[in-house]
Amino acid sequence: MKKSTVFRYLFLAIFNSFVVYSIPLTITFESWFLLSLILLISLLVNIVYFSDRFLPMKWILPGMIFLISFVVFPAVYNTFVSFTNWSTGHILTKSQVVNILESRTFTPEDQQGIEFDLYVFQDTNLEFYYLADIDDQNILFGKAVTFENINDSNFAVHEPSLIQNGDIIPPSGFNLLTGKDQIANSTTLQELSLVIDENTRAQLFKISVFGASTGLLSSTSQLYTFDESSDSITNNSTNTICMAEVDNFVCDGEEIDPGWRVFVGFDNYQKLFSNQRIRGPLSLVTKWTFQFAFVTVLLAFSVGLFLSLVLNKENLKFQRIYRAIFILPYAIPAFVSVLVWKGLLNPDYGVINTWLSPLYEMLEIEPIQWLKTKESARSAVLLVNTWLGFPYMFLITTGALQSIPKNLIEAARVDGASSLQTFWRIVFPLLMVSISPLLIGSFAFNFNNFTLIFLLSGGGPPVIGSEVAVGWTDILISFSYKLAISGGRGNLFGLASTVSIIIFALVLLISAISFRYTKRLERIYGNI
Amino acid sequence: MEISKFNNWFKEFGWRHLVALIFVVFAIYPILYVLTNSFADFANLTNSKLIPDSLTLKHYKLLSGNPLVPYSDWLYNTYKISIIAAFFNVFLGTLAAYAFSRLQFKGRRASLLTLVIVQMFPSFLAFVAIYLLFFQISDVIPIMGLGTHFGLILVYLGGSIGFNSWLIKGFMDTISPSLDEAAKVDGASEFQIFSKIIAPLTRPILIVIFVITFIGIYSDYILAAIFLKDKNLWTVAVGINTVFVDDFNADWGVIAASSVIAATPIAMLFIFFQKQITGGLTAGSVKG
């Protein structure tokens, strides 16, 4: 066999054992989407690499696995999530919720508060043992265990021989702890209990320095029992039956936490478009997203074009130095620039308000509270993004200007056109031919410019009185992020992914327009 | 006479210098400000100024060995993640590009087109699904789950591999096919043609794409912020934007120093590769 064949089968063996290992786990955790992803990938890998056909796929597949798993698949999954109620309190599947509820316990009233003498022993390994003198029939001795180990430990046994005429006789190898010793170990002892039967345990309640310490019996029973046939749970403490409603068990009109995740159809979409208290923020955010993306491209483009026109002059000195400096803001990672600008814009200490203070005094107005009011936050976002974006526009317009034939401009001049006329009638239209696809690209980029918005203003200042967390500078993607991750009102994954679907649709629309407008598709096609 | 000469010069050149200088100040002021402030010996943002009275390295020293701001860990994490992810991104992208450029097969055009269309949607748009997907992966395969660098690198791999293979393929097309045909006649295998002929000739563009991908991953905030919860595992982008949010005034010196450390290598890379990067970006955008 060839070396490469051996290598191939070795790889497939490792890969498939990994798949076989993970499949039962995904079933245990009921991660059906993950399971289908793993099955899809393993199917592709096995088909392509087991056979001797599909040679091109052997080259393409490794990269495509990642593209499928972490770009295409999440987009599909995102759509799925947008049709569910997936959110804090509805994270788990129904059977997981039943498991959690069935493991909850309570102490029945008739078993609360029985007190008795409790003695603490320590063996040579310094492990603790309890002796509970409950009554003559129950002188129970056993190892004291922490709460996590209760299920694995043995039940305490009746050992009447340990108490003779009221005196405690420690078994050999065990050491009876005095009250003082118990106090010294009290933090450890608090965590320990003696397991009497499945539902009952004894704990140290009060330590006594003179005489025996007091133990307390705490008995626990299963709080909820699930009945599959009627799809309900019974509360054993109050003896009420709780029926399964859409995504919660409901007892006497009260929902039991946690609920489970479930398909809700178009509920999230309906909420976004018809619930007044969510529709309001959404339309506000959508409007600002378009405004922001448009104005920021316009500003950066204007500054960039203006500068490249200014520098587009033969024999102008220092041209290279100017160009080199204009590119600098573009060279710095945005997450750094934004942090620095946040410092400069600080209303109390920042250098921008220091600069503007003579102006404030002259006009007798209060200093601008940058990022803290709607208008100042929006202006700040636009200002900073102009700084971040104009170098790119400067670069591309400079390139485009230089590629416009000189004789065209000269011809216009000869025909008596003024320089303004030449610019607007000849230079600008020619410029737009090559620049407009880039402007649309820049629009699409800023449409989702999360880093700028989230790091500079956090989307703030908050819109007061809104049901969901939203601010005046939030764009759709940061709005979605707040809903899902950081809004402080739980994780509304379902609603957030619905907003993401809206973004997908809008990006698709923008791309379609740009394709139509620039016939880019054909060019790509031609290049293939 | 002198005045009219100056007027002429001003009309022709002078105003251009004036405008250029104004924007030079606009462009460079924040950069210079943070650069000088990172070495400046004053306590906080209130009494910061462009030209400090005296210089110190104390802000940089505060960044090393401070358990509250494990900056060196963040730097290490960022470089580790960005280099590994960018490397495999380019490597796997090159393999795919080779098939698209050199092998004839059914559905070649359609799959290339799909690649480009898929990558028009930034991968972070589906961040909710990515989060939930990795939340489940945490149960099944903890080492690549939420909160791990491994998982984050996997996500970054998907992020631009399609676009990169498309760019690389475009470059490979410019390499004359007569080279590999000659090699084929001499009995070279497909893999030998790739590794001995095509890959070495493609190296210049591979380096550029590596640098672009590296810078992109280095600068990412949203995915890293979703993924990494443990302070010691953060990247620089997450770290400095999470730790320094409450007290800009007192932290200003350290903020400046950490900004300088985070930005300098990237800025230098960018300036060094400026022609290729902007050329690539523009060409990429114009063509698709």
Q: Which residues of A touch B100 (CB under 8 A)?
A: 60
Alpha-carbon gap: B125 to the closest alpha carbon of chain A (Å) = 6
Q: Are residues A443 and A523 in the same domain?
A: yes
Interface-testing mutation among A4, A36, A70, with chain B (most B C-beta atoms within 10 A): A70
Q: Are residues B51 and B88 in the same domain?
A: no
Angle at B211 between CA A304 and CA B130, to 5 degrees: 95
Alpha-carbon gap: B1 to the closest alpha carbon of chain A (Å) = 23
Q: Are residues B177 and B39 in the same domain?
A: no
Q: Do A350 and B271 touch (CB under 8 A)?
A: no
Query: Which residues fall within 8 angstroms of residue B51, CB to CB, at 6 or more apart?
Result: B36
Asked if residue B265 belongs to a domain, the reply is yes
Asked if residue A237 belongs to a domain, the reply is no
Which pLDDT score, from 0 to 100, does residue A153 have? 72
Name the residue among B48, B98, B123 with its Cβ closest to that of A59: B98
Asked if residue B186 belongs to a domain, the reply is yes
Q: Are residues A385 and A502 in the same domain?
A: yes
Alpha helices in A119-247 (DSSP H): 179-184, 186-190
Q: Are residues A75 and A116 in the same domain?
A: no
Residue A7 burial by Cβ neighbours in a 10 Å radius (0-12, 13-18, 19+) = exposed
A168 is in which domain, residue-wise?
A: 105-222
Residue A131, phi then psi, degrees to nearest 5:
-125, 115
Mean pLDDT confidence for A454-476: 87
Q: Do B255 and A34 touch (CB under 8 A)?
A: no
Q: Do A310 and B123 touch (CB under 8 A)?
A: no
Q: Are residues B185 and B278 in the same domain?
A: yes
Judge whether B161 and A66 are in contact, CB under 8 Å: yes
Query: Which own/partner contact pairs does A365-374 have at CB distance under 8 Å and 24+ positions apart?
Result: A370/A345, A370/A346, A371/A342, A371/A345, A371/A347, A371/A456, A371/A457, A371/A460, A371/A461, A372/A347, A372/A460, A372/A461, A373/A461, A374/A461, A374/A472
Reported confidence tier of residue A111, pLDDT bands at 50, 70, 90: low
Name the residue among A22, A74, A454 with its Cβ closest to that of B133: A74
Asked if residue B144 belongs to a domain, the reply is yes
Half-sphere exposure of B160 (CA within 13 A, CB side): 23
Q: Are residues A394 and A433 in the same domain?
A: yes
Alpha-carbon gap: A246 to the closest alpha carbon of chain B (Å) = 22
Which pLDDT score, from 0 to 100, does residue A363 have? 87
Alpha-carbon gap: A136 to the closest alpha carbon of chain B (Å) = 49
Asked if residue A459 belongs to a domain, the reply is yes
> Which chain A residue shows the shortest CA-CA distance from B48?
A351
Judge whether A349 and B45 are in contact, CB under 8 Å: yes
Reported confidence tier of residue A113, pLDDT bands at 50, 70, 90: low
Q: Which residues of A touch B170 (CB under 8 A)?
A: 527
Reported confidence tier of residue A109, pLDDT bands at 50, 70, 90: low
Share of chain A above pLDDT 70, in %: 96
Asked if residue B61 belongs to a domain, the reply is no
Name the residue among B23, B165, B237 with its Cβ closest to that of A326: B23
* Of the candidates B88, B62, B94, the residue with the CA atom closest to the CA atom of residue B194: B94
Q: Which residues of A touch B19 (CB under 8 A)?
A: 306-307, 310
> Which chain B residue shows the shortest CA-CA distance from A445?
B122
Which pLDDT score, from 0 to 100, does residue A520 have? 53
Asked if residue B65 belongs to a domain, the reply is no
A156: DSSP letter: P
Q: Which helix (H) or strand (E) covers residue A242, if one does?
A: strand A240-244
Q: Do A334 and B46 touch (CB under 8 A)?
A: no
| CATH number for the domain that contains residue A517 | 1.10.3720.10
Q: Do A503 and B34 touch (CB under 8 A)?
A: no
Judge whether B234 and B224 are in contact, CB under 8 Å: yes
pLDDT at A496 over 80: yes
- A52 vs B204: which has the higher pLDDT: B204
Q: Are residues B192 and B215 in the same domain?
A: yes
Alpha-carbon gap: B93 to the closest alpha carbon of chain A (Å) = 6
Asked if residue B245 belongs to a domain, the reply is no
Q: For the CA atoms of A87, A93, A98, A99, what is the dihedral angle to 10 degrees?
A: -110
Q: Do A349 and B46 touch (CB under 8 A)?
A: yes
Residue B196 burial by Cβ neighbours in a 10 Å radius (0-12, 13-18, 19+) = middle
Asked if residue A279 belongs to a domain, the reply is yes
Q: What is the pLDDT along chain B (288 residues), one digit of tens a residue?
A: 577 888 888 877 888 899 999 999 999 999 999 998 888 887 677 777 777 777 888 888 888 877 788 999 999 999 999 999 999 999 999 999 999 988 888 888 888 888 888 888 888 999 999 999 998 899 888 899 899 999 999 999 988 888 889 889 988 888 888 888 888 888 888 888 888 888 888 888 899 899 999 999 999 999 999 999 888 999 999 999 988 877 777 788 888 899 999 999 999 998 888 877 776 544 433 322
* Of the candidates A270, A291, A313, the residue with the CA atom closest to the CA atom of residue A475: A291
Q: Are residues B52 and B118 in the same domain?
A: no
Q: Are residues A383 and A505 in the same domain?
A: yes
Q: Are residues A324 and A472 in the same domain?
A: yes
Q: Which residues of B touch A437 (CB under 8 A)?
A: 285-286
pLDDT in tens, A328-382: 999 999 999 999 999 889 888 888 888 888 888 888 888 888 888 999 999 999 9
Alpha-carbon gap: B138 to the closest alpha carbon of chain A (Å) = 11
Which pLDDT score, from 0 to 100, does residue B282 have? 44
Q: Do A77 and B121 touch (CB under 8 A)?
A: no
Asked if residue A265 belongs to a domain, the reply is no
Residue A352, phi then psi, degrees to nearest 5:
-70, -45
> Which chain A residue shows the shortest CA-CA distance from B251?
A343
Q: Do A77 and B286 touch (CB under 8 A)?
A: no
pLDDT in tens, A416-435: 888 888 888 888 888 888 78
> Which chain B residue shows the shortest CA-CA distance from A390?
B27
Q: Do B126 and A74 touch (CB under 8 A)?
A: yes
**Euclidean distance between CA atoms A132 and A305, whole angstroms:** 88
pLDDT in tens, A499-510: 999 999 999 998
Q: Are residues B170 and B109 in the same domain?
A: yes
* Of the candidates A457, A445, A451, the residue with the CA atom closest to the CA atom of residue B225: A451
| CATH number for the domain that contains residue B189 | 1.10.3720.10
Q: Are residues B145 and B194 in the same domain?
A: yes
User: Looking at the 3D structure of chain A, how many domains does it have?
Assistant: 3
**What ipTM did this prediction achieve?**
0.90
- A521 vs B233: which has the higher pLDDT: B233
pLDDT in tens, A382-413: 999 999 999 999 998 988 888 888 888 888 88
Q: Are residues B196 and B119 in the same domain?
A: yes
Query: Which residues fall within 8 angstroms of residue A443, CB to CB, at 6 or more apart?
Result: A293, A294, A297, A510
Asked if residue B32 belongs to a domain, the reply is yes
Q: Are residues A364 and A281 in the same domain?
A: yes
Q: Are residues A464 and A506 in the same domain?
A: yes
Name the residue among B96, B128, B271 with its Cβ closest to that of A60: B96
Q: Which residues of B touch A520 (CB under 8 A)?
A: 287-288
pLDDT in tens, A249-265: 888 878 888 888 888 88
Last residue of a domain, one of A182, A203, A222: A222
Interface-testing mutation among B128, B144, B275, B276, with chain A (most A C-beta atoms within 10 A): B128
Q: Do B13 and A317 touch (CB under 8 A)?
A: yes
Asked if residue A244 belongs to a domain, the reply is no
Q: Are residues B42 and B146 in the same domain?
A: no
B14 is in which domain, residue-wise?
A: 2-56
Asked if residue A280 belongs to a domain, the reply is yes
Q: Which residues of B touch A4 (CB under 8 A)?
A: 191
Q: Are residues B24 and B86 in the same domain?
A: no
Which pLDDT score, from 0 to 100, does residue A523 have? 54
Q: Are residues A510 and A442 in the same domain?
A: yes
Q: Are residues B174 and B215 in the same domain?
A: yes
Asked if residue B148 belongs to a domain, the reply is yes
Asked if residue A498 belongs to a domain, the reply is yes
Last residue of a domain, one of B34, B56, B78: B56
Q: Are residues A195 and A135 in the same domain?
A: yes
